[in-house]
Amino acid sequence: MDFRHILNSKKTLLSVILGVFFTLTTCKTFAIQGENGTTEAKNAEQEAFNPTTAILEHIGDSHYWHVGGETSIPLPVILFTDKGMEMFSASEFHHGTEAHQGKYYTYKLVEDKIRVVNAGGEVDKEASKHIYDFSITKNVVALWIAGIILLIIFFSVAAAYRKRAGKAPKGLQSFIEPVIMFVRDEIARPNIGYRYERYMPILLTIFFFIWVNNLLGLIPLFPGGANVTGNILMTFVLSFIVMLVVNFSANKYYWKHIFMPPVPVWLYPIMIPVELIGVISRPFALMIRLYANISAGHIIVLSLIALIFIFKSMWVSLVSVPFVLFMDVLELLVAFLQAFIFTMLTALFIGTAVEEHHH
Amino acid sequence: MEELFEGLLNDHLGFVFWAAVAFVLLLILLAKFAWKPIMAAISERERSIEDALLKAEAAKEEMARLTNENEQLLKQARAERDLILNEARKIKDQIVGEAKAQANAEGARMIEQARIEINSQKAVALADVKNQVASLSVEIAEKLLRKQLADQQAQDAMVADLLKEVSVK
C-alpha cells in the first residue's frame, strides 16, 4: 500500500487510462495485421485483405486464442463421436493446415469447424454428422475467466459484508453496493413487486454476468477480447434460462391469460396461438437484442481498424483510431445499458408472470 | 438454407452445454455464497438504520412531549399560585371587613347598652329624688297640720264642716 499515492494523483491516473486505451487500440490493429499476415503466409497468391472474413473471424468463436503477433494459444479439443470420446490439443491442426489422426476418425479444421476427412483429404459430410464438438473454445475459456472474476469480486464483497456487518461499505464493496441497490430498487422492485426477493439472485447474476462479459469483450488483449455476450449461443442460453424461470414461476392468472384470454370465444383459435408465440418471442427478443448490440459494437470497432488495411495507409489511423476510441467509450456505456435492459426485461417478464389480478 | 443449418448441432451444442453449465454453476455459487449474505446484510443494515431513525424520531417526540409537559406544568403552577394569592387576598379583605363590621356592631351595641344603663340609672335617681321630695312634703304637711290643729276650737270647726258635707249627701 506504499504506492497508493501514485494512483491518487489525478494526472497520473488520467495518463495511465489514456495510455491503456491507446495501447489496446494499437494491439487491436496488430491483431488484425497478424491474422492477415498468417493467412498471407499460408497462401502466397491469396487475394487482398478481406475485411468481412477478418471481422467475422474476430467476433466468432475459435479453437485458438490469438494473443498477439504470431502467437496464439491452442485450446483443448473434446469430441463426442459415435464411437467414443476424443481429446487432443488444437495445436494438432496447425491452424487448419493439417489433419489430425484421432483414435476413431481423421479430423481437420474447416473455417474453424471440426470436420471428418477421409483418406484422400476430402471432407466426409456423412461421418461429420456423428461428431459433436464439445471443445473448450475461446468463448468457453472467456466464460470461465468471467466466471472466476465474478466469483472473486462477489466472494470478497460478501466477505466484506460479513466482516463489516452493520457498518458503512468500504472499497470494492462501496462500488458494488450501489449497483446491487440499483438492480434491487430500479429493476426488481418496480417490475416484480413485493415478491422480488426470490428473484434477486437470478437478476443480479444475469446483470453482472452480462456486464462483466461485455466489458471483457471490450479489452482487445488476451484475458478479454472474446465476444461472449455477442455470441448468439450465449444469449440463447441466457434467454432460455429466463424463459424457464418466467414460465416456472408463473401463477394461474398468467396461464389463464394465455389459455382463456378475456376475448369472445370465437377469437380463441387466433388468440391462444398468439399468446403462445408471445411466450417464446419475448425471450427470443432478449436473445437477439443482446447478441446484435454487442456484435454490432465489435463490428464497428473492427471495421474502423480494417479501414487502415483497406486503404493500406498508416495515415488512415489518424482518423480511425480516434473513432475507435470514441466507439470504445460508447461501448462502455452500451455494456452497462445492455446488461440493464436484459435484466430489466427479465424482471418485467417475471413480473407479468407472478402478477396477481384482483378482479 | 439447408447449407446454413448443416452441422449446427454438431458444431455448437458443445458451446451451449458449456455456457449453460458455466452460467448455472455461477448462479448457484453466487446465490449461495454471495447474493444471500450480501442481500441479507444490506437489508439488515437498512432495517437497523430505519430503526435508528425511528428511534431518534421517537426520542425527539418524547423530548418535545416532556418539554411541553414541563411548560404545561409550569403554567399550571403559575395559574395555581395566582389563584391562591387571589384567594388569600380575598380572604384577607373578607376577614378585615368582617372584623370591621363586628367592631362597629360591638361598638354600637356597647353604646346602646351604655345609653340604656344611663337611662335606667337616671330613672332610678329620679325616682329616688321623687320619693325624697314626697317624704319631705309629707313631713312639711304634717308639721303644718300639727301647728294648725293645736287648739280645740279649730278642730271642732273642721269636724263640723266635714259633717256638714256628709249630711248634705
pLDDT of res. B135: 93
- For residues B53 and A178, is the Cβ–Cβ distance under 8 A? no
pLDDT of res. B103: 94
State which H helix or E strand residue A115 sits in: strand A113-117
Interfacial residues of B (vs A; Cβ cutoff 8 Å): 6-7, 9-20, 22-27, 29-31, 33-39, 41-42, 44-45, 48
pLDDT of res. A14: 56
The set of cell numbers assigned to A72 is: 496464439
Q: Give me the interface pTM, i.e. the ipTM.
A: 0.83
The set of cell numbers assigned to A324 is: 475507435
- For residues A311 and A48, is the Cβ–Cβ distance under 8 A? no
Q: Provide the mean pLDDT of chain A.
A: 84
Is B25 part of a structural domain of the chain?
yes
| A85-133 pLDDT tens trace | 888 888 888 877 888 888 888 888 887 888 888 877 788 888 888 888 8
| 3-state helix/strand/coil string of chain B | CHHHHCCHHHHHHHHHHHHHHHHHHHHHHHHHHHHHHHHHHHHHHHHHHHHHHHHHHHHHHHHHHHHHHHHHHHHHHHHHHHHHHHHHHHHHHHHHHHHHHHHHHHHHHHHHHHHHHHHHHHHHHHHHHHHHHHHHHHHHHHHHHHHHCCCHHHHHHHHHHHHHHHHHC
Is B9 part of a structural domain of the chain?
no
Cα dist from A111 to A54, A131, B109, whole Å:
12, 16, 146
| A145-176 pLDDT tens trace | 999 999 999 999 999 998 888 788 888 999 99
pLDDT band at B1 (very low <50, low <70, confident <90, very high): low
Q: Residues A40-67: what's their mean pLDDT?
A: 73
Phi, psi for residue A66 in degrees, rounded to 5: -75, 125
Mutation site for A-interface testing, chosen from B8, B9, B11, B39 by largest number of A Cβ within 10 Å: B11
8 Å CB contact of B18 and A131: no
Of A16, A21, A20, A15, the C-alpha closest to A328 is: A21
| B119-156 pLDDT tens trace | 999 999 999 999 999 999 999 999 988 887 778 888 88
Of A48, A34, A24, A55, the C-alpha closest to A304 is: A55
pLDDT of res. A233: 93
3-state DSSP call for residue A244? helix
Is B123 part of a structural domain of the chain?
yes
Q: Within an 8 Å CB–CB cutoff, is residue A143 touching chain B?
A: yes
Asked whether residue A42 carries a pLDDT value surpassing 50, the answer given is no
8 Å CB contact of A140 and B18: yes
Q: Which long-range contacts (CB under 8 A, 24 or more apart) does A15-20 make?
A: none
pLDDT of res. A45: 39
Query: What b/e readout covers A27-66, taking b as 16+ CB neighbours within 10 angstroms?
Result: bbbebbbbbbeebeeeeeeeeebbbeebbebbbbbbbbbb
CA pair distance A130, B110, nearest whole angstrom: 149
Q: How far is A237 from chain B (nearest CA, A)?
A: 6
Rounded to 5°, angle at Cα A302 from A300 and A303? 65
Asked whether residue B78 carries a pLDDT value surpassing 90, the answer given is yes
Q: Please give the tally of structural domains in chain B.
A: 1
- Closest partner residue to B38 among A115, A161, A197, by Cβ? A161
| A243-302 pLDDT tens trace | 999 999 988 888 888 888 888 889 889 999 999 999 999 999 999 999 999 999 999 999
- For residues A197 and B39, is the Cβ–Cβ distance under 8 A? yes
Number of A–B residue contacts, CB under 8 Å: 117
**What residues of A are in contact with residue B35 (Cβ under 8 Å)?**
154, 200-201, 204-205
Beta pairing partners, A89 = A76
pLDDT band at A358 (very low <50, low <70, confident <90, very high): low
pLDDT band at A44 (very low <50, low <70, confident <90, very high): very low
8 Å CB contact of A205 and B35: yes
8 Å CB contact of A140 and B36: no
Q: Which long-range contacts (CB under 8 A, 24 or more apart) does B39-44 make?
A: B39/A180, B39/A184, B39/A197, B39/A200, B41/A161, B41/A162, B41/A165, B42/A161, B42/A177, B42/A180, B42/A181, B42/A184, B44/A165, B44/A166
pLDDT of res. B67: 95
Q: Residues A324-330: what's their mean pLDDT?
A: 94
Which range of residues forms the domain containing residue B162?
A: 14-168
DSSP A58-103: HHS--SEEEEETTEEEE-EEEEE-SS-EEEEEGGGGTTTTS-EE-S
State which H helix or E strand residue A210 sits in: helix A200-218
Is B8 part of a structural domain of the chain?
no
The set of cell numbers assigned to B166 is: 256628709
CA pair distance B142, B140, nearest whole angstrom: 5
Supply the pTM of this predicted model.
0.73
Mutation site for A-interface testing, chosen from B4, B6, B18 by largest number of A Cβ within 10 Å: B18
Is B6 part of a structural domain of the chain?
no
| B4-29 pLDDT tens trace | 667 778 888 899 999 999 999 999 99
Asked whether residue A55 carries a pLDDT value surpassing 90, the answer given is no
pLDDT band at A22 (very low <50, low <70, confident <90, very high): low
Cα dist from B89 to B27, B75, B97, whole Å:
88, 21, 12
Strands A113-117 and A106-110: antiparallel
**What residues of B are in contact with residue A200 (Cβ under 8 Å)?**
35, 39
Is B22 part of a structural domain of the chain?
yes
State which H helix or E strand residue A314 sits in: none
The total number of residues written for chain A in this structure: 359
Is B99 part of a structural domain of the chain?
yes
pLDDT band at A37 (very low <50, low <70, confident <90, very high): very low
Q: Within an 8 Å CB–CB cutoff, is residue A132 touching chain B?
A: yes
With a pLDDT cut of 70, the percent of chain A lying above it is: 86
Mutation site for A-interface testing, chosen from B4, B27, B38, B46 by largest number of A Cβ within 10 Å: B38
Q: Which residues contact B65 (CB under 8 A, 6 or more apart)?
A: none
8 Å CB contact of B30 and A204: yes
DSSP A130-179: T-EE----HHHHHHHHHHHHHHHHHHHHHHHHHHTTTSPP-THHHHHHHH
